[in-house]
Amino acid sequence: EIVMTQSPATLSVSPGERATLSCRASQSVSSNLAWYQQKPGQAPRLLIYGASTRATGIPARFSGSGSGTEFTLTISSLQSEDFAVYYCQQYNNWPPQLTFGGGTKVEIK
């Protein structure tokens, strides 16, 4: 089973600043990685797939990078609506399995 580890667990950032979130896979997942944003009381929303491709309607301030075992989600200038929990998900060994990371909470500093 591929284990996905996200760091840090919580990131405190001021509005307008850059946020950098990390996701590490226990073995290579190539570029088969997605990022999601989840706000309280809402379902997750797909942000990035293929490690770096923004999903439809996602603002350009969200960018993804990395391949293999190390991945980064960058939010270039945090807006008030960006404070949320972010999850990575690998799909390299689909089928049969899909795996999420534990999440990073981005909070207001």
Q: Applying CB under 8 A, which residues contact another protein?
A: 1, 32, 34, 36, 38, 42-46, 49-50, 53, 55, 87, 89, 91, 94-103
Report CA-CA distances (Å) from 73 to 1, 7, 41, 80, 88. 23, 11, 22, 17, 9
Give the Cα separation of 29 and 13 in Å (integer): 29
Nearer to another protein (CB atom), residue 78 or residue 101: 101
Q: How far is the CB of 104 from another protein (least distance, A)?
A: 10
Q: How far is the CB of 48 from another protein (least distance, A)?
A: 9
Answer yes or no: are the C-beta atoms of 101 and 5 closer than 8 Å: yes
Q: How far is the CB of 18 from another protein (least distance, A)?
A: 24
Nearer to another protein (CB atom), residue 64 or residue 75: 64
Query: Which two tokens mark 75?
Result: 């939010």
Nearer to another protein (CB atom), residue 59 or residue 94: 94
CA-closest candidate to residue 47, choices 30, 35, 59, 38: 35
Q: How far is the CB of 28 from another protein (least distance, A)?
A: 16
Q: Which element (helix H / strand E) includes 12?
A: strand 10-13
